[in-house]
Amino acid sequence: MATESTPRSRKAGAFDIRLIIALLTGVYGIILTVMGAAFDTEADRVKSAGVNINLWAGIALLIFTALFVLWARLRPIVVPTQTEQPDEDETTEPPSAG
């Protein structure tokens, strides 16, 4: 016989918005890091005051991604699997005596 003393719950998993944001920023971070490391030209550096903007922005996005994944893993969102149902339906009126 099952008792309902402890409600069951589960993690949000792939539906956690933090992981979706981390995926998007991670993809952009990888693209920018590769573009900055492999395809940086002197003309690009002249435009950006001597700084490899793509490389540094890509590294920053990858760090941001790592922090979001760490946050999602350390403090997962817990979704209850069962919701409590009221004993009576409060939206209907009781029958009148008459």
pLDDT per position as a tens digit, 26-84: 999 999 999 999 999 999 999 999 999 999 999 999 999 999 999 999 999 887 777 66
For residue 23, the enclosing domain spans 15-77
In a domain, 62, yes or no: yes
- Give the chain's domain count: 1
Q: What is the structure's pLDDT at 92?
A: 66
The long-range contacts involving 52-61, CB below 8 angstroms and separated by at least 24 positions, are 57/32, 58/28, 58/29, 58/30, 58/31, 58/32, 58/33, 58/34, 59/29, 59/33, 60/29, 61/25, 61/26, 61/28, 61/29, 61/32
In a domain, 93, yes or no: no
Q: Name which residue leads in pLDDT, 12 or 50.
A: 50
Name the pTM for this structure.
Answer: 0.69
pLDDT over 60 at 5, yes or no: no
Nearest to 78 by CA among 15, 10, 14, 17: 10
In a domain, 21, yes or no: yes
